[in-house]
Amino acid sequence: MAVTIKDVARRAGVNPSTVSRAIHNHSAISEKTKERVRKAMADLDYSRNSAAQMLASGKSGAIGVIFPPIENKSEQPFFMKILTAINEEAHQNKITVSIASGHTIEELLSQVRVMYQEKRVDGFIVLYAGEADDVRDYLLAGEIPFVIVGTPIERANEMTAVDNDNKLMGAEAAQYLAGLGHKKLAFVTNTDKGEVFHERYRGFEEKIKSLGLNGQLLYTSESLALDNVTALVVLDDILAIKVIQGLTERGITVPDDISVISFNNSVFASLIHPYLTTFDINIMQLGHRSVQKLLHLIADPDDFREKVTVPFELKVRESTKAVN
């Protein structure tokens, strides 16, 4: 029978959460305790191969991926790219992936229930965050292992999440444009919902205030009233391309008349001129890390919950320039 974190904890005389933190080299754990945990792991021949432990325990050897209940998933390259990463990591761990997708939360919940109750999967990766819904409530109530890609608003300390620091990204977008000499900026969005929007806009707003710059929030559902704005921070690449097309139709040239910076570094960012200056959110690592964390939770259900932050990188291209 596979050795678990509980076994290591008993051997070392600590809590299971302490073992997990020691394994992850958490700064809150003393070196003396870490050494005691390492010795217990060696004595028990504890393996961190979560997939092997999962299979040894009679699990199904499969995980579920829950897509958000939205209509235009196929138009969002994020979902296809992260699914590719999830499949890659699953293949490396010799497990399979099943998909749960629907137009409503009710449809999703029905699929998730069947998948788990019939033991088709051992846990789930949820590809949306924000406010809680019936799917997340079901997973929490049933103590079903799951990982969220994104940042949950409610009960965040009860679940593991993998995400970027979207607030920092929004701030760095404003900082970069300010460094180019732009003094009047606007954040452009097509929604006021979701944690991604709120965090990116909050970072943008706080940064421009701290820099003493002028800023505003613009919605694409309305005619963009630029009013001497010289730079735009746009919620994502797909929206940025639509915004640039709309500006071109009005005789406004990017980046000569106005600079545009975006997020996600999707495939479209370097397909259409001007190539987009955009933040690479490292989607592949988001996918890989979500699988790794889920397998760890399946193998060790008592492991502590945490937020895993994946780094991002600004890709400077043609859509931004310094103010003359």
Q: What is the CATH number of the domain that holds 192?
A: 3.40.50.2300
Residue 156 covered by a domain:
yes
Number of structural domains found in the chain: 3
288 and 159 within one domain:
yes
Residue 320 covered by a domain:
no
Contacts of residue 319, Cβ cutoff 8 Å, sequence gap at least 6: 240, 244, 254, 255, 259, 260, 261, 262, 274, 275, 276, 277
pTM of the model as a whole: 0.81
Which pLDDT belongs to residue 130?
A: 80
Contacts of residue 246, Cβ cutoff 8 Å, sequence gap at least 6: 220, 224
Question: Residue 84: which domain range?
Answer: 59-163+284-310
298 with 54: CB under 8 angstroms? Answer: yes
- β-pairing, 214-219 with 146-149? unpaired
Which pLDDT belongs to residue 54?
A: 54
Residue 322 covered by a domain:
no
Residue 264 covered by a domain:
yes
216 and 187 within one domain:
yes
228 and 289 within one domain:
no
159 and 172 within one domain:
no
pLDDT along the chain (324 residues), means of 10: 78 86 75 87 72 60 93 77 96 93 94 94 94 93 96 90 97 98 97 92 98 95 89 96 95 97 94 95 96 91 87 98 92
69 and 80 within one domain:
yes
